[in-house]
Amino acid sequence: MIKDELQDSISDKTARIGVIGLGYVGLPLIVEFALKGFDSIGFEVDEAKAREVNDGRSYIVDVTSETLAKAVGSGKLIATTDFSRLAECDVIIICVPTPLRKTKDPDMSYILTAGGEIQKYMRRGQLVILESTTYPGTTDEVLQPMFEEKGFKLDEDFQLAFSPERVDPGNPQFQTHNIPKVVGGVSDASTETAALLYSQIVDQVYPVSSARVAEAAKLWENTFRAINIGMANEMAKLCNALGIDSWEVVGAAATKPFGFMPFYPGPGIGGHCIPLDPHYLSWKARQHGFDSKFISLAEQVNSGMPEYVSELVREALNDDKKAVNGSKILILGVAYKKDIDDMRESPALSIIDLLRANGADVVYHDSFVPEVTFDHAYTIGDGDPLQNQELTDELISSSDCAVICTEHTTVDYDRVCSLAKVVVDTRNALSKDTRDCSKARIVRL
Q: Is residue 120's pLDDT more than 50?
A: yes
Kindly state which CATH superfamily the domain 2-209 is placed in. Answer: NAD(P)-binding Rossmann-like Domain (3.40.50.720)
- Identify whether 273 is a catalytic site residue: yes
Query: In the predicted model, what is the mean pLDDT of residues 241-267?
Result: 95
Give residue-wise pLDDT tens across range 67-88: 999 999 999 999 999 999 999 9
Q: How confident is the model at residue 24 (pLDDT cuts 50, 70, 90)?
A: very high
Per DSSP, 276 falls in state T
Query: Per-residue pLDDT tens for 311-352?
Result: 999 999 999 999 999 999 999 999 999 999 989 889 999 999
Q: What distance in Å separates the CA atoms of residue 440 and residue 428, rounded to the nearest whole number?
A: 15
* 8 A C-beta contact, residue 147 and residue 160: yes
Question: Does 58 score more than 80 pLDDT?
Answer: yes
* Confidence at residue 287, expressed as pLDDT on a 0 to 100 scale: 81
Indicate the average pLDDT of the chain: 92
- DSSP state letters, 139-175: IIIIIHHHHHTTT--BTTTEEEEE------TT-SS--
Does pLDDT of 436 surpass 70?
no
- List strand residue ranges (DSSP E) for 133-251, in order: 158-162, 181-185, 205-208
Of the candidates 399, 415, 238, 234, which has an alpha carbon nearest to the alpha carbon of residue 316?
399
Beta strands 441-444; 422-425: pairing state? parallel
Alpha helical stretches, state H, 133-187: 138, 144-148
Closest to 97 measured CA to CA, from 428, 345, 409: 345
Whole-number pLDDT of residue 259:
95
Q: How far apart are CA 69 and CA 57, in angstroms?
A: 7
Q: Output the pLDDT for position 437.
A: 67
End-to-end CA distance of the chain: 60
| pLDDT-based confidence at residue 241 (cuts at 50, 70, 90) | very high
Residues of the chain with CATH 3.40.50.720: 2-209, 226-444
What is the structure's pLDDT at 409? 94
H/E run at residue 425 = strand 422-425
257 contacts: CB under 8 Å, gap ≥ 6: none
How high is the pLDDT of residue 438?
A: 66
How many residues does this entry show for the chain? Answer: 445
Among 95, 273, 405, 437, the active-site one is 273
pLDDT of residue 227: 94
Which bin fits 24, alpha (ψ -120 to 50), beta or left (φ > 0)? alpha
Question: What is the value of pTM for the model shown?
Answer: 0.91
DSSP label at residue 139? I
Can you give the pLDDT at residue 40? 98
DSSP single-letter state for residue 12: T
User: What pLDDT digit, counting tens, does each position of 158-200 carry?
Assistant: 999 999 999 888 888 888 889 999 999 999 999 999 999 999 9
φ, ψ at 53 (rounded to 5°):
-65, -50
pLDDT number for residue 105: 80
CA atoms within 13 A on the CB side of 78: 11
d(CA 126, CA 307): 49
Residue 182: helix, strand or coil by DSSP?
A: strand
The CATH class, in words, for 226-444 is alpha beta
Residue 379 scores a pLDDT above 50? no
